[in-house]
Structure 1
Amino acid sequence: MADRNTRLVSADREAKNGDVAVIDFEGFLGGKPFDGGKGENHSLELGSGSFVPGFEEQVVGMKAGDEKDINITFPADYAPELAGKDVVFKVKLHEVKEKDVPAMDDEFAKDVSEFDTLEDLKADIEKKIADEREQAAQQAFEDKRMQQVAENITADVPDAMVESQARRFVDNFKNQIQQQGIPYEQYMQMTGITEGKLLEDAKEPALRQVRMDLALAAIIKEEKIEISDEDVEAEYNTMAGQYGIELENIKKYLPAEQIKDQLSSRKAIDLVRDSAVAVEPKAAEAEEKPAKKPAAKKTAKAAEGEEKPAKKAAKAADGEEKPAKKPSAKKTAKKAE
């Protein structure tokens, strides 16, 4: 926790690994600037490996006000236009910042929490960690069961659906990078990653996601899962309380149909989980095989060899092109804040 509450303070000395250097930089290839090689007032954590190999090491030792030419040879597996090329980065260092880690005592506990003592704060953290592990075990259990159901879909998944999902993954990644204050094109240049490579790497998880979406859609159809207007209203109220957003704003940003889709998927997952086992894994027993119980509802026993309704439902998805799962309603709610 002390690390999370570390603050950065100016240091009047040479930069070293672990410091944050605030720099301007511009890269030149053959004496000419190249695309994506320029940044101003960029905060670079030295030793993080976030820049091209050899760059951060040469910033070490610079002081505020220093200017320096940094010579770099890009790796052979870098972006084609720069791979193996010798370039020069002109760098100006504005400020060196070091991490100031607070003392772990009762005063720290009062500053960062509602607790008066460090002991009470630690006890609360331990409880939250235990809860998170339990939730993680539950999530892993549900993911495994849903994966088994998705594997029952034997028809070929259309390439267009996979490519569309892969594109969504890449777009989400692009947004995450830009939210960190790093221009996407600059990130691609500095890391040597191409968008084509990102899309290719995203295809396998995209295929898993599409198969999962098809399985959920098939279970929802087979089990005739329906969401009432009362269910939607209750979810709106829950989310408004959870995120501290006015109810009307939640409704403005999240259409009722999107809420229904989320609740339908949740119910489908619950059906698979509840009909598959009698005892779910504890956090410390996540790897143990759960015991079976007779199905109470007509959904899949994904872990069993016999063909149960949800398996039939999964097969019902064969040959159908269902839309990929919509973005999480809760994630969208966070954007509304």
Structure 2
Amino acid sequence: MSQTGSDPRRPPIPTPPDSPQSTTSHQSRHSTISRRSHSHTSDRDRRLTTLESELRQSNLTRDRLVRDRDHLDLQVHQLRSNIRDMEAFQHGQRNEITRLETEISTLTHAMGDDPEDLHTQELQLRTERNDFERHAIPAREDFHNAEADRDRLRLEAVQDGDEIRDLQAQICSLERETDDARSESATALASYNRISSSLTRAQPDRGRDPSPSSSTRLIQAHRDRALADLALAQANLTQVTSDRDRSFKQLAQATEDRERALVDRDSALRLRDHAVAERDQVRLDLLTETARTAQLDDDLEVVRQELQERGRCRISRWPTTNSPSCAIWLRAI
């Protein structure tokens, strides 16, 4: 029946006329259905276009978030490598300090005659400590940059969540409009059924009056328009349902990607916190080693003073200070 009514090439089937009140009611109902159908179709198309644009923007934001997460992972890996290098350097410095402490203890007991070696070792230790401090400064800057990146990624994740919630609200509104379109389609179908019933009841009078009147042609024209509106409403309903399902799939994919990005971000944050803990431990060890180095400097100063005092005592026991051996000893001190 729908294909016969919507084909403009086939001639209309003559039916007996209906009452003027029924004709006026059918015309008013047809115009109302047509206006509502076109209006809802235009609004739905605009909303669907806006929704698809926002979903694409959300996907772009998600891709950028994933790239930033990968960059943060690379930074964390580099920082951990730097921390391992600093730990290795720290262990080497600790061994050197232990060796120097052993030498100081030996010199304290033996009281050697040449303090120049101790002075050279002291300068070398100071140089190594300064080098370690210079290496620690870029590591601190990298950690500060990682903290800034973490805060930025957290803010972007919150903004993406807000956008997804807005998209979900718009999809709920689109579902309500789909239900309205279904209701309008049902109304158009009921109108078509009433017109078809009127035409069916008028079939017995067709044999008595074979010539179709203007009222019959008008009723058939209304029926054809009702069929066309019904087909348009069904097509719009099918299109809206398809767009809604596609939007659901895109929203589900965007939500899944966002949750995956949040999980990756949390993993990166845990790695970063672990790296910060390692950095703090290295800093604490550095402070400890600095204190030990300061103590070592004090011990070196005490040894130097004792050596100088011993040298002065030896000089005071010599008969003259102009002898070559005395001059050599003074130069050594």
What TM-score do you get using the length of structure 1 for normalisation? 0.18
What TM-score do you get using the length of structure 2 for normalisation? 0.18
